[in-house]
Amino acid sequence: MSSFPEPTPTQEITVRKAARAIGRARLAHAYGHCSQRLDADYFLVCAPEPMALVTPEMDGVVVPVSGPLPEGVLGEVRIHQQIYQRRPDVSGITRTMPPNSMALAALGKSPRIRHGFGSYFHAGFPFWDDPQLLRSDEQAEQLAEMFGDASALLMRGNGLVTASDSLEKAVVLAWYAEDAARIELEALKCGLADSAPTLSQDEARQRATDKGRIFERMWDYLTHGDPET
């Protein structure tokens, strides 16, 4: 392999802003990470710190899409590797632990498509039914295979993975998925989970638009006041 590429200042800033946005929105606490693809062979993952505490001085770490993780990189970054290997369309990934998603996943459930934000998961919401920490390449391979063409996956008792064609979108999808989990929990609490309406596939596909700066506006909201904006 050639030497690792040097990320641009813009790429470093985007990863740091994404990490802080995730932390401020309480989509993660002490644990979690996010990354941005640099090219076909490498990606940039945020510093291995609680994401809300990532400072402008903390550069990310360049990681190969294939091969051993560099020293100091968190073990579950294997998930990013395996998704990037299988999905050339993916340029950004988040691994988060939002409270509603965590609660719903602990119940063994994924959100159903019930509202506008949920419509962005019309391709499916895979469920990784294993509460153990993911610490092996084999586990990461199996999870990535299950992820398939989806944009989000819930891990039982372990949170959420989102992926999209940009890191900004992956962050926004984490927020959307958490809101979908919130709605699902409310339906369960009031006993309407099986009788409340859901969106059809056609309704969901039509609603899941990116027109009108849908993703950009949420990104602006989540990163408002960021020290590197």
Provide DSSP, 109-158.
------STGGGGGTT---EE---S---SHHHHHHHHHHHTT-SEEEETTT
Contact (Cβ atoms closer than 8 angstroms) between residue 30 and residue 63: no
pLDDT for 2 equals 52
- The predicted-structure confidence for 16-37, as pLDDT tens digits, reads as follows 999 999 999 999 999 999 999 9
| pTM of the entire predicted model | 0.96
Looking at residues 85-99, what average pLDDT do you find? 98
pLDDT for 229 equals 87
Highest mean pLDDT among 46-50, 131-135, 155-159: 46-50
- The predicted-structure confidence for 48-72, as pLDDT tens digits, reads as follows 999 999 999 999 999 999 999 999 9
Distances (CA, A) of 116 to 35, 109, 149, 153, 223: 26, 19, 20, 18, 22
Query: Could you name the CATH architecture of 9-222?
Result: 3-Layer(aba) Sandwich (3.40)
pLDDT for 3 equals 83
